[in-house]
Structure 1
Amino acid sequence: MSNRLADATSPYLLQHKNNPVDWWPWTEAAFEEARRRDVPVLISVGYAACHWCHVMAHESFEDEAVAHLMNEGFVSIKVDREERPDVDSVYMTATQAMTGQGGWPMTVFATPEGDPFFCGTYFPKANFARLLGAVGTAWREQRDEVVRQGAAVVQAIGGTQLASGPTAPVSAELLETAAAGLAKEHDQTYGGFGGAPKFPPHMNLLFLLRHHQRTGSPEAIEIVRHAAEQMGRGGIYDQLAGGFARYAVDATWTVPHFEKMLYDNALLLRAYTQLWRITDDPFARRIADETAAFLLRDLATPAGGLASALDADTDGVEGLTYAWTPAQLTEVLGPDDGAWAADLFRVTADGTFEHGTSVLVLARDIDGAEPSLVQRWQDVRARLLAARAERPQPARDDKVVASWNGLAVTALAEHGVLTGSADSRSAAIALAEVLATRHLIDGRLRRVSRDGTAGEPAGVLEDYGCVAEAFLAVHQLTADGRWLDLARRLLDVALAHFGTGTGGFYDTADDAERLVTRPADPTDNATPSGLSSICAALVTFAALSGETPYREAADEALKHAAPLFAGHARFAGYSAAAAEAALAGPYEIAIATHDPDDPLLAAAHRHAPPGTVIVAGEPDRPGVPLLADRPLQNERATAYICRGFVCDRPVTDVAELTARLST
């Protein structure tokens, strides 16, 4: 037996390095070994913070008898879906096609050519052992049928990878249909969309915020307010340390699946920051501030960059770090504060979670309470958090993923400029430097790094889109032309190597490793799709640079997302947000000033229409097209407001700028 995972950079693969399974990483050598031995391939896909991945590992992959069946009859390949989203996408499409559902761990049996012929997700140990025997028998005795089924699956999923159906230009009517579709699915009792399990709909919230700004829709902003309040007061939000869990297992946001993902928190940071910008809601501001603090405190890695996730389990137990009983509250806080905290956080004798424990929720509004009550709440939180720090803590997946760090850069940049947070501003720039110097190698992106070293997997389309958008956010933050140039390089690679030839995009480059199909999924799922992220970056870059070919590319790409707006708006939030920006112009605001803290800049940020790009700095600053030929008027800071490359007269007065943007 030879387990080949000890040298992996993926924390998920390293979790399996001591299994008795003869694991291979995803390499061509593994498939060559399967051909040499004339056995099928077993592909197991998961990620480090996945609870049921841990369960299947403990039940089956750590079991000598099950490992023997795997080693005798298969070449077993372990894949980190976060490191190889391209592999995950291909086999998830096959799993959903064959079973009607998907999830992780994902278990795929394939031919030595990689064609999947049987797919599933989690299997209990006894079922998995029987399945191994049945698949092995079918491979030996019914080989032709198995191979034919694999080929048929590949042909079927190959036809679903590109968006099908008629494309259409983005229009106000189409976006109104998307907003109306979300309104129909809105949970009017608990907020969000759909039932249990309930995921934070961050990308839909970003779309609805922009839709409200453009149209004034009261329904759109109310849906956002409702979801934001219910999530922020629910158990899905860490009421002591900040940060959101991956999802709630119920429809009420009470009991979370405890893993905390970087991408969720980055996108939610943007949503709460923008909600506060539009409404001045102190609750939204607090959640945004605490989420930003969580990112920088709990996910920062020593080598730079933000870690991918905190695990769902602690010592193999879900919620061990986070759940409380009334007695535990009293032990930490004393009888009076303990009883008060139990009432405020809805910690009951019966419990809301497991074994008589409760997940902390905020049972009533505290942000607008009298100062003495707020002070008591803050004191109680601090004492409980200090006590919780003495408990065992969840493991951390410390790999740095390019696209997710790109999402964080954009969120922190927005939070920094809108709230004035120096920590968020400096963190956004530092993270962008990590992406520019560590992940961008010879003009191409690497998807992951760990301990300061880039991994081998090539960047996929979402990496190029999210990182380009991040560089554009830092360009606006700093008025440094270097970031605009770096974004251009990434977008040029995307246009040259990921395009379909019909305006759409594949998720992998034309010179990337060839899989059984070339994925091209336009739908947003846990993160923005490659298509939606590249659309957002193209719209922003065109506005900042004034170069119309990039805007034309964005408009053509958005046509491929448009069919989703009418019937599947929940899975097109990020592309719909990009479409809102495109439909609004987007506005381009250049502020010629000698003062980086000029009041015109603050007014522009607080009142800008959806998707507006804003740059402030010295007139004719090199590398900053938006500041070219934009002199100061009468030696006063001057704002130039343009839309679709057409400009209004300059503005030097804050009140006039605010009025102009508000209308």
Structure 2
Amino acid sequence: MVNRLADATSPYLLQHADNPVDWWPWGPEAFAEAERRGVPVLLSVGYAACHWCHVMAHESFEDDGVAGYLNERFVAVKVDREERPDVDAVYMEAVQAATGQGGWPMTVFLTPEKDPFYFGTYFPPEPRHGMPSFRQVLEGVDAAWRERPEEVGEVAARIRADLAERASVYGAGAHHPPAEADLRQALAGLARSFDDKRGGFGGAPKFPPAMAVEFLLRHHARTGDGDALRMAERTCEAMARGGIYDQLGGGFARYAVDAEWVVPHFEKMLYDNALLLRVYLHLWRATGDGQARRIALETADFLLRELRTPEGGFASALDADSVDPATGKSAEGAYYAWTPGQLTEALGAEDGALAVRLFEVTGTFEHGASVLQLLSDPAEAEAEAYARIRARLLAVRAERPAPARDDKVVAAWNGLAIAALAETGALLDRPDLVEAAVRAADLLLAVHLTPEGRLLRTSRDGRAGTNVGVLEDYADTAEGFLALYAVTGDSEWLGLAGGLLDTVLVHFADEASGALYDTADDAEQLIRRPQDPTDNATPSGWTAAANALLTYAAYTGSALHRTAAERALGIVGALAARAPRFIGWGLAAAEALTDGPREVAVVGPASDPATAGLHRTALLATAPGAVVALGEPGATDVPLLADRPLLDGRPAAYVCRHFTCDAPTADRAALAASLGARE
């Protein structure tokens, strides 16, 4: 038996296609059915790599008795939060407001008019730790719906009114773009929450603060502030040495459950790894740190090896759980953890003992297994053995049952990966990474971009899903295309980015205030239009769009795009002091705005090595948000390149702010000095 999810493109929905629950996908048909039958809607939201989503599915949604009761008295709707972040955001806000917490799986009961009236997250199959069982919740909601409909209606109306009150448009236009004082206050706020001993911000659990670190690196580059660099370096080193980083295969887990970065929640997300790849690359660019370079390359290789799809895009995630060969049961982290005995079996006694010591295998988990850490570099005499051990363990691990892969392609997250891979390939002499970025961008153009110039959010196996793009899809895809232009000099990418950003201005911007919404004005109307300028696991669509608008304006001289970026960044000034950890991408964009950003035009024949040398130096710039244009003499397709002649017949670089340029130079050292580039 299969249900209505059998034709979905979402791997998460497909995981539920053979449940006895008669699931409906989100859509008007489901709510019309609830209206026809006079029953409430159970909305269940999760994602494919979510551990507790799998647990609740196995305990409740695969249970024939629970499913029978649910099918008789409710219309059950299943949503992949990664396909419909708008649906997730609106109802998660209600859950958090009502319960003080949130998470996935998210369980919400709605009227046929989509109004929520009862909330929760995971419910166990039996009452536990003060939580009712899922069956008890179903019975209680059903009884209230049938016996006290007026009370249910009053609750739903009150919640809708509360959400509407919260939905007042952020007054971005009422604030000036962040001033120097705002950026200093943000830095002070980050310093107060910085964990000086263990890196990162706050206590357990600890999430990789990629957006905040990007701000710290840009602030240091612009001001020379040593504290900003110290926080960035300490955080990056702690994450790279801890269990959150895959010491064998590269790539980062979603977060650490402890404050020391030791015990990860093992799911690996594309967005985390794309963002962290770029952060470690930028740390290397700023300092020349060898560990940062290694982590960047290993993470890039992880993306290509384990997340690239046959069509050239990048899959969303790897599950936390996999089958443990010792027990035959699915367990979190089974693919990644080792016991001393397993290391000895794989490596022999001598290398096994060295591996136990190098990787701190001391029984972090049950049954004496440990995640691998690398708290100090191998001694010079151990370097060869370390390389041999690592390669052997990676090969042995590949024989274990692998975690499942959520292989849907999300436009926004692929945009982040495109930007990171393009820059890494260019700066670390890995043309294969640039080629991978171009191929992923080509997939977005071929499958996700409609003839009308609108983006679809997801695809799978080269087949587009039906969900329309949200703000982060347009902003992060534009970010990827802009990075591709900087690296390749192919102006088509700049034009495509401009088209996406024009759509942002037409369909996502509030004309009166300059604020940005997460959904387009012609998208499905939910109980409120979601809007959030703060970062979550990914950069806020609002501030990602502001950053891309600013970059595009620097290439083109467009006052329209520049003004839109400045207005959108007004919200950063309002939040910089209060919530710097959650406005990091906006703070990074504000650093670029404060610095200019600088505009670098490199002009010369493509065949001349001197042109390539100047181009590479320009890409090494640490000046915040610096944009790099590359073209032949006489190029007119990019405004920044117009009227830029050669210098005495030689390739030249022009460094400008607001299209006002310093004297051109053919000297790489002089160019590096003007841009804070480390040669």
Q: Is residue 114 from structure 1 mapped to residue 114 from structure 2 by the alignment?
A: yes
The reply to whether residue 605 of structure 1 matches residue 606 of structure 2 is no
Residue equivalent to 2:148: 142
d(CA) in 2 for partners of 1:150, 1:514 = 18
After TM superposition, give the deviation of residue 661 of structure 1 in Å: 2.4
Matches of 2:150 and 2:510 in 1, distance apart?
34
Which of the numbers 171, 175, 198 marks the counterpart of 2:183? Answer: 175
1:47-86 pair list within 5 angstroms: 47-86=47-86
Q: CA deviation at 1:429?
A: 1.3
Aligned residue for 2:602, secondary structure, equals strand
Residue 468 (str. 1) matches residue 482 (str. 2): no
- Residue 498 of structure 2 is matched in structure 1 by 488
Which residue of the partner structure matches residue 416 of structure 1?
425
Q: What is the alpha-carbon distance in structure 1 between the residues aligned to residue 395 and residue 13 of structure 2?
A: 33
Answer yes or no: is 1:192 the counterpart of 2:204. Answer: no
Aligned match of 2:158: 152
1:362 maps to 374
Letter in 2 for 1:446: L
What pairs with 1:627-642 in structure 2 (closer than 5 Å)? 627-642=641-656
Shift of 1:602: 2.1
The number of residues matched between the two structures is 658
Amino acid at match of 1:335: A
Report deviation, 1:142: 1.3
**Deviation sequence 1:138-161 (CA, Å, 0-9, x none):** 111111121121122122122323
Name the residue aligned to 1:558: 569
The counterpart of 1:341, out of the listed 344, 347, 355, is: 355
Q: TM-score, normalised by structure 2?
A: 0.95
Q: Which deviations, in whole Å up to 9, do the C-alpha atoms of 1:597-640 show, x marking residues without a partner?
A: 63222222223401000122212324222211111011111110
The match for 2:589 is 578
Aligned 1:146-545 pairs, distance under 5 A: 146-162=152-168, 164=170, 167-315=175-323, 316-348=330-362, 351-366=363-378, 369-370=379-380, 372-442=381-451, 443-501=453-511, 502-545=513-556
2:506 and 2:240 mapped to 1: Cα distance? 42
Aligned mates of 1:643, 1:412 — CA distance in 2? 27
* Structure 1 vs Structure 2 CA RMSD: 1.4
Q: Deviations over 1:454-477 (max 9, x none)?
A: 110000000000011111111112
> How far did 1:163 drift?
5.4
> Which amino acid in structure 1 is aligned with residue 524 of structure 2?
E
Name the residue aligned to 2:130: none
For residue 631 of structure 2, what is the aligned residue in structure 1?
A: 617
Q: Distance in 2 between the 1:177 and 1:200 partners?
A: 22
Alpha-carbon shift at residue 407 of structure 1 (Å): 0.3
* More divergent stretch after superposition (20-29 vs 469-478): 469-478
Greater mean alpha carbon deviation, residues 556-565 or residues 388-397: 556-565
Alpha-carbon shift at residue 561 of structure 1 (Å): 3.1
Amino acid at match of 1:456: T
- Provide the rounded CA distance (Å) in 1 between the counterparts of 2:424 and 2:470: 27
1:92 counterpart = 2:95: no
Give the Cα–Cα distance (whole angstroms) in 1 for the partners of residues 168 and 502 of structure 2.
Answer: 21
Corresponding residue of 1:651:
665
What residue is the counterpart of 2:326 in the other structure?
none
Give the Cα–Cα distance (whole angstroms) in 2 for the partners of residues 162 and 276 of structure 1. Answer: 42
Unaligned runs of 5+ residues in structure 2 are 127-132, 324-329
Q: For 2:423 and 2:612, how far apart are their aligned partners in 1? A: 17
Residue type of the alignment partner of 1:203: M
Contact 2:177 2:590 in 1 (8 A): no
CA distance in 1, matches of 2:634, 2:571: 37
Structure 1 residues 623 and 123: alpha-carbon distance in aligned structure 2, compared to 1, 3 A threshold: same
* CA contact 1:481–1:622 (8 Å) conserved in 2: no
- The answer (yes or no) to whether the contact 1:158–1:518 under 8 Å persists in 2 is no
What letter corresponds to residue 288 of structure 1 in structure 2?
Answer: A
Matched AA of 2:442: E
> What's the CA shift string for 1:496-527, capped at 9, x where partnerless?
11112210111111111111111011110011
> Gaps (5+ residues) in structure 1?
none
Offset, 1:560: 2.3
Residues of 1 paired with 2:571 and 2:375: CA distance? 43
Give yes or no for contact 1:163–1:521 (8 Å, CA) kept in 2.
no
SS of residue matched to 1:5: helix
In structure 2, distance between residues paired with 1:23 and 1:536: 40
Secondary structure in 2 aligned to 1:317?
A: strand
Paired amino acid for 2:367: H
Mapped partners of 2:489, 2:157: distance in 1: 53
Deviations 1:38-91 (A, max 9, x none): 011100000000000000101110111111221111101000000000100101
- Displacement, 1:333? 0.7
Q: Letter of the aligned partner of 2:466 in structure 1?
A: E
Contact persistence 2:256–2:265 (CA under 8 A): yes
* Equivalent residues of 2:322, 2:332 under 8 A apart: yes
Deviation of 1:529 after TM superposition, in Å, equals 1.2
2:217·2:229 contact (CA, 8 Å) conserved in 1? yes
**What per-residue deviation string (whole Å, max 9, x for no partner) do you get for residues 369-400 of structure 1?**
42x42221111000001110111100000000
Which amino acid in 2 is paired with 1:151? A
Q: Given residue 146 of structure 2, which amino acid in structure 1 is its aligned partner?
A: R
Q: SS state of the match for residue 566, structure 1?
A: coil
Specify whether residues 398 and 662 from structure 1 end up closer, same or farther in structure 2 by C-alpha distance, changes over 3 A only: closer
Superposition deviation, residue 579 in structure 1: 1.0
| Cα pair 2:322 2:404 within 8 Å, conserved | yes
Give the match for residue 103 of structure 2.
103
